[in-house]
A and B are shown apart, each in its own frame.
Chain A
Amino acid sequence: MLDTIVFGTVTVLDLMIFALTILVAFVISRIVGIYLKKSLSDHIQKTELAKLIRVVQAAIILIGVYLGLPSFDVHIADLLIVGGTAGLVLAFATQKIASNFGSGIFLLAERPVKIGDNIRIEDISGAVEEIHILSTIVRTDDGVYVRIPNEKVFTSDIINYMANPARRFEYVLRIGYDHDTALAVRVITGLLEAHPYVLAHPGPAVFVSALEESGVQMKVQGWAPSPVYGMVRNELLGSIKSAMQEQGIETPSPRVRITGGEW
């Protein structure tokens, strides 16, 4: 029964093996699809995810067909010659697309950025708006739409300002020698502790960091949640300046000592 020839040299058994191979490939593609959907749904847009899943599923089924072909007496070696040549031509024609696609896959796997992150890639900085399979869309700080090919994203140094939950800010201030540094420390510490977004743990620190010729150097350090870091840093700098002025604590003007001989 299984040896019955259907056409050419292909038997019922060959057909059954081929059908089984395709069925297994189909099941694997479905499982991979479900896995990709679960693991990537938070990191990539739905439409892009659907495209990616379709491409991956099609590739798995094609591999299944490829593996099942020997049962039809089609030899892989012959296909490799034909497929290899065609593949070479295609690869040259689409190498950039393939490179961007591959980079997109690796970016999704590595996840150095996610939608909403504030990042800098080379000279482009802004918020990640969309992550596609071939490109990443960034809205710069002044509202400009920038499409960056994924190959560039993947091979460049990425600075992600939001990857960690908190960031530290630091100011370096100078006050004159005739002003009360203890008062300055108290005033600035009070401002830091009153600001809701300056973290209580790790707590802020204000201290004298150097005694310089032009004045006493002080450092102000604190931590803020990454999403509001810029706002906190700017707000506090203005508040510190106003509070220091109110207390009569001034930043000394730079001093230049000129020495010379006869005029």
Chain B
Amino acid sequence: MDFCALIVESVYGSSQYPFNRQFGPVSVSIEPSGNFSLYRRVQPGRTVEKVIGNREGTVVVNPVEPVHLPGEVTGMLELHFTPISLEPESSCKIYLKFPVEIGVFLQGRGDGFDVLDIFSLARPRFSLYGTPERGLITRHADTRVYDQVPATDPLEEGVMALSVKNSSRSWVEVSRAVFDHRNMHLYHGEMVAMTAQMEVFSREVAETRILARAPAEGMQASVRLFSAGKSFIPEIPLFLMEYGVGE
């Protein structure tokens, strides 16, 4: 099965407000309130409210880089997967699942977006990549390795098509991949997806990058929190994994 077969109607996209939409157990709405609008996210045990300074406008809801909840302690996503052994100078394409966070943006008159809210149905976990002295905190997710696009709930999980290339002269067992949110490009259709590459140079060193390319025709590029936040930190093309590619 390929990504193309799974593009039907997306739960994500832009709408004019007033609007009301259900994301699993989470209800998101923007309703007129006097001269303003009231944004409300209702989920079991918690309600978030914000006032928007106009009565009409465009709201965009789409999956965002999954590194912001419950608080911003890292910008890295680490996927732990079933170990896969690669022979020297070989490559393969695998599919992995990753957790999804959902961003709610207000669209300005130009191309600008303002982040209104972020929520997630996925349970966040964190991990340490490297040593306690010099390592990095990462948003952690365990996943199986799939040889074709697995079925997912687009509100909780996305699918990463990862091309792994072993450029070393020995067999390498790969069971983790770390990605920087500064080069994370998500796309959505009926499912959420990313296309990534990983080049393994040794058991210790690899390069990862996420391509700014839709995994299939018709998938929409998500509005990114990294660019919507008007960060002055430059986008980086790749991330260098220096602390190993296995356990």
CB distance from B79 to the nearest CB of A (A): 12
Residues of A close to B130: CB separation below 8 A: 165
CB distance from B121 to the nearest CB of A (A): 14
Residues of A close to B136: CB separation below 8 A: 165
Q: How large is the interface on B (under 10, 10 to 19, 20 to 34, 35 or more residues)?
A: 20 to 34
CA of A201 to CA of B22 in the docked complex: distance in angstroms?
A: 34
CA of A159 to CA of B208 in the docked complex: distance in angstroms?
A: 35
Residues of B close to A165: CB separation below 8 A: 128, 130, 132, 135-137
CB distance from A85 to the nearest CB of B (A): 50
Which residues 189-225 in A have Cβ within 8 Å of B in the complex? 196-197, 199-202, 223, 225
Contact between A225 and B135 (Cβ–Cβ < 8 Å)? no
Q: Mark B64-86, 1 if CB is under 8 A from A, else 0.
A: 00000011011000001000000
* Interface SS majority for chain B: loop
Judge if B181 is at the interface, Cβ distance under 8 Å.
no
Residues of B close to A197: CB separation below 8 A: 70, 73, 126
Residues of B close to A200: CB separation below 8 A: 80, 125-127, 140, 142
Q: Nearest B residue to A195 by beta-carbon distance?
A: B125
Residues of B close to A199: CB separation below 8 A: 126-128, 137, 140
CA of A199 to CA of B128 in the docked complex: distance in angstroms?
A: 7
CA of A164 to CA of B134 in the docked complex: distance in angstroms?
A: 7
Q: Mark B108-141, 1 if CB is under 8 A from A, else 0.
A: 0000000000000001111111101101110010
Which residues 148-207 in A have Cβ within 8 Å of B in the complex? 164-168, 196-197, 199-202
Give the A interface residue count (CB, 8 A): 15
B135's contact among A166, A167, A227, by CB below 8 Å, is which? A166
Residues of A close to B128: CB separation below 8 A: 165-166, 199, 201-202, 223
Residues of B close to A55: CB separation below 8 A: none
Judge if A228 is at the interface, Cβ distance under 8 Å.
yes
Contact between B137 and A225 (Cβ–Cβ < 8 Å)? yes
CA of A243 to CA of B155 in the docked complex: distance in angstroms?
A: 31
Contact between A228 and B127 (Cβ–Cβ < 8 Å)? no
A165, A166, A202, A228: most-surrounded residue (chain B CB, <10 A)? A165
CB distance from A236 to the nearest CB of B (A): 14
CB distance from A134 to the nearest CB of B (A): 29
Contact between A166 and B132 (Cβ–Cβ < 8 Å)? yes
A167, A199, A202, A227: most-surrounded residue (chain B CB, <10 A)? A199
Contact between A166 and B140 (Cβ–Cβ < 8 Å)? no
Which residues 121-140 in A have Cβ within 8 Å of B in the complex? none
A196's contact among B70, B80, B142, by CB below 8 Å, is which? B70
Task: List 6 extra interface pairs beyond A199-B128, A200-B80, CB under 8 A.
Answer: A165-B128, A165-B132, A197-B126, A200-B140, A201-B128, A223-B128
**Interface positions of A (Cβ within 8 A of B):** 164-168, 196-197, 199-202, 223, 225, 227-228
